Structure formats: structure tokens, C-alpha cells
Amino acid sequence: MTELQLLSYLVVGATFALYIGIAFWARASTTSDFYIAGGGVHPVANGMATAADWMSAASFISMAGLISFYGYGGAVFLMGWTGGFVLLAMCLAPYLRKFGKFTVPEFIGERYYSRTARIVAVICLILASVTYVIGQMKGVGVAFSRFLEVRYDIGLYIGMGIVFIYAVMGGMKGITYTQIAQYVVLILAYTIPAVFISLNLTGNPIPQLGLGSTITGTDIYLLDRLDQVVTELGFAEYSTDARLSLTNMFFYTMSLMIGTAGLPHVIIRFFTVPKVSDARSTAGWALVFIAILYTTAPAVAAMARLNLINTIDQPQQAENLEYAERPNWFKKWEATGLLAHEDKNNDGRIQYVADPEVNEMTTIDPDIMVLANPEIARLPNWVIALIAAGGLAAALSTAAGLLLAISSSISHDLLKGVFMPNISERAELMASRVAMAGAILVAGYLGLNPPDFAAGTVALAFGLAASSIFPALMMGIFMKRMNKEGAIAGMIAGIGITLLYVFQHTGVMFIASTSYLGDMQPNWFFGIEPNAFGSIGAIVNLVVAVTVSKFTAEPPAEVVALVEHIRVPQGAAAAVAH
């Protein structure tokens, strides 16, 4: 066993022991504990747990990798995900917390006075959450297979077992306190390598400042150097090239933004605090904790791309790196299948260029960039082991939140809310645990056998949430005239047209998420790629819902009063009267 492998086992094992210990300490004994952690979590602690819940393997592993290859075009992920959280904090979280229920489908069912609306919301929630959880399972498998040097499927089984222990046993209570620990692990794992690498490249230990600094020993700025290197290799300029088109970037950003605001596993976190003001405070603290990683990601992306090119292909030199002399990290990632080389001209050297007929780096999965970055930069083994633990923490924290959202929608919204309204609390708690266990098994199966439409991306999950759940929530809060017929028709139309568009273009989904597309946009609506179509689905949802509501009966007076109660601050009526 190598030193790195031993350190990885020790660091990852220590974090897993911590998560299991918290699970035993924070066992759920009531349905309130299981669904909303008893409703008494401190806003600062909840903000940290929310940040871990929201920052998934997509944020930790994939985002900087995508920015590494897309450059300026990758800004859609930064703007969409962070902007969406602001939207959630300002327009949804306080109102839903004031409503005071356990789940998003429960709000939709009561606001639209309809079991059918609740069932449709559950279906939309499960589709979005299951699609999203596939990406988390891939992150778990990738991290295990590389750093602990076990097979992908074995790593996935271990991750499933850890989640099973703390999620099934503790529910939201166990997940909340585990996510606090996972946030600490993932943020240290993300920032410590970034500090090292920024210091090595620019002499500035603050990555955010290092991104705009000159390279050590030169007067050339890091981004200028990266632009020069990638253009010499034939790629588009790193700092200015849009993702396909500005139209596509706009709708992609919009889809990620409103999809973030509609993701149920994040929304239910705001039900775990005692008061409405605490929900706002939670959102503020969560943004602070999220910003630490998200402001670091562009620096990590740019520095990882520069280090990768300098390691495998030096455009300034007459000869490139010999394949036989490739570094050890290269060999390790080749073994995972996420990195592949094909010697097309049989010269025994590595050529990494934009021309696909010449490019010999036939596979560079963006997901390896963050995890491989410390190895490429030759950082100490303990830093490499730490980033493995961080990647697993990010994937497991979000997977647990998603699985809780799925299980609560089944046990609370379908079983208790529709089919067995008189079920006892003890039986509902047991049903919740059974549903959670079942959701873990399904998620594990999909992680081992991911469907084609979800390969390589979680952006589709945001599109599904954007096209179905978000419009229903916004209209439910801010449109008193919106009725059940409009909401149901809107959700079905929105998610239906999004799924239709995605499945119609299934053949390009994987390409769209993992490589440069150039002009390959076959029959795309205004050049909008499938991963960005959720924003169009949301517009369709809104138009259909408003149109149908105008030609159907107004909502009952008690529902209008409920909307007014949610929107008007407590004591406002008395203040107006005086």
C-alpha cells in the first residue's frame, strides 16, 4: 500500500467515523425530528448545513472542472447557482417557513386545495431529485475508485452504507449535524490545495487574488498566460469565449437559477429553524459559507487548466512530453477511464490540441480536474488525501438531503397526505425510514447504471425543478388568483415539454456536458442546449397556468386568506390600523 493510499484511508475513515458517531448522537425519535430536525436548529448551524446540502459533488468536483474547459462560458454555473440561492432566500424561503409545513408538495397541496396538485408535485420532485442524486453517486464512485483504489461499484456500495446509517437513523436531525461536519471537511479540502497552488503560481496565498495576479518571476498575468497557452493549442480564448452563444448562456443561467430556487432538498432546510426571521438569517449565513467555495472556484479552474497543459503539453517547446514518461497521476487517472490517450501519429508523445484529428487526449473528463489538481501540482500527500475526503463529503451531504426529500414526499405526502391520513406517528416514522432505505437502493442502482439522459451532468435536475416546482411555488405565494387547475396544468406542461426536448436530443446530452460542441446544435430551439431548456419549460408553465386559471373558477376565500397570511408580516395589520 502506498503512502498516499494509506493516508487516504486514514483521512476518509476518520471522517466516516465522525459521521457515524453524529448519527448515533442525533437519532430521530419523532416525525418532527425526522422531517425538520425538531424545528430548533440555530440559524448559523443551519446555514452551514444548508451550504453543505446545496454544494454537491457538482459544486465541489464538477463546477471548477467545467470552468477549466469552458472558461468564460462556464460562468453560467457560478451565476446560475449563486443567483438562484439569492432568489430562494429573498422570494421563497421566508414565506414557506411561515407556512410552517414539512414539505414542498404539502405546501402545493394546501395552497392549491388539491390532492392531485400534491401528487403531481411529488412526481416532479422525485424526477428532479432522482436525476440529481445520480450525479452525487457518480462523485462518490469516482473519488473512491481513484484515491482508495477500489472498484467504482465497491466505492458506491460503501457510500450507500454510510448514508444509510446516518440518514435512515437520524432523518433530518442526523443529516443536519452530519452536514455541519461535512461542510467543515469539504471547505478545508477545497481551499487548502487552492492556497498552496496559488502560492506556487503567483506568490499570493489568497486564490481569489492570485487569479488576478502575475505569475511568479514574470510580469505576465495568470489569465493572460492561460489565454496565450490555450490559443496556441487552437482552443478558444479562455477569458472571453461564450458557451455556444449569449442566448444559450442567458437561458442556461436562468435555468440553473430558478432550478436552484425550486430544489426541494434545499427548501426544506428552512423549515428546521424556530422562526421566520431565522429562515432569513439562515439564508444569509448560507450565502457566506457558500461564497468561500464559489469565489475560490474560478481560481481553482484556471490554475488547474494551466497546470494540466504545462504538464502534458508545452506549446513553447519543440517537443511534447513522451507518453512513456508521463507522471504517476496521469497513470492513476487512466486506470479510472476518465483520462485516455491515443497515440494517433505513433511518435510516442502526447499532443493536446483543439483539432480532434490531431488531439491525442481523447478523454479528459472535467470531473477529474479538481481531484487531480493537487497531484498535478505535486502537493503533499496529506493534501491529496484531504481533497478525496472533501469530494466524498460534498457528494454524501447532498445525496442525504435529496434522499430525505424523496422519502418524505413518499411517506408524508403520499402515504399520510393521500392514501392513509389516519396513520399513527410511529407508523409514519417507520414508513419514512423504509422509504429512505428504498430511495438509497434506487439511487445506488442508478449510480451503477446511469440512464443516458443524465450521463455526466446534474444540470437536467435543475431544469426539471425550474420547469415544474419553482413556478408553482412563486405563483402560489405572489398570485392570489392562481387556482388548482392552472397550477396542475402548468406543472404538467412545464416538466412535460422539458422532458420531451431532452429525450428528443438524448444523443447529444452527454456530449453537451463533457466536451466542446462547436457548431453542433442539431435542431435546437434557438440554439438552446437541452441542459438549459428548463427555463423555457418554466415560461411554458407560467403561460399555461395563467391562461387556464383565467378560464376556471377562482380559488376559495380561505385559500386567498392563506396567501395573504403568508405574505403579510405578523403585526402588520395592527400597525396599519393604528
Q: Which domains does the chain have, with CATH numbers?
A: 3-306+380-448 (1.20.1730.10), 320-376 (no CATH)
Question: How far apart (Å, rounded) are the C-alpha atoms in residues 474 and 485?
Answer: 16
Which of 176, 149, 5, 140 is closest to 61 using CA atoms? 140
Spatial contact of 479 and 529, defined as CB atoms under 8 Å apart: no
- SS3 (DSSP) at 118: helix
Which of 300, 366, 399 is closest to 510 using CA atoms? 366
Q: What is the pTM of this model?
A: 0.81
All three cell numbers of 32? 418532527
Alpha-carbon distances, residue 377 vs 63, 123, 196, 238, 406 (angstroms):
19, 45, 9, 20, 40
Residue in the block written with cell 430511495: 439
Question: How far apart (Å, rounded) are the C-alpha atoms in residues 369 and 138?
Answer: 15
Which of 129, 132, 255, 260 is closest to 532 using CA atoms? 255
- SS3 (DSSP) at 482: coil
578 residues of the chain, pLDDT tens digit each: 678 788 888 988 898 888 888 877 877 777 776 766 666 788 898 889 888 888 877 788 888 888 888 888 788 888 888 888 888 888 888 888 888 776 788 889 999 999 999 999 999 988 888 888 877 777 777 777 777 777 778 878 888 888 788 777 777 777 888 889 989 999 999 999 999 999 999 999 999 999 999 999 899 999 999 999 888 888 888 887 666 778 888 898 899 899 888 887 777 777 778 787 888 888 888 889 999 999 999 999 999 999 888 887 654 454 677 888 888 888 888 887 778 888 888 888 888 888 888 888 877 878 788 888 888 888 888 988 898 888 888 888 878 778 888 888 888 778 887 788 888 878 878 888 888 888 888 888 887 876 544 444 567 788 889 999 999 999 999 999 999 999 999 999 999 998 888 777 554 444 344 443 444 455 567 778 887 889 999 999 999 999 999 999 999 999 999 888 888 755 444 444 44
Dihedral, CA of residue 399, residue 269, residue 387 and residue 133, to nearest 10 = 20
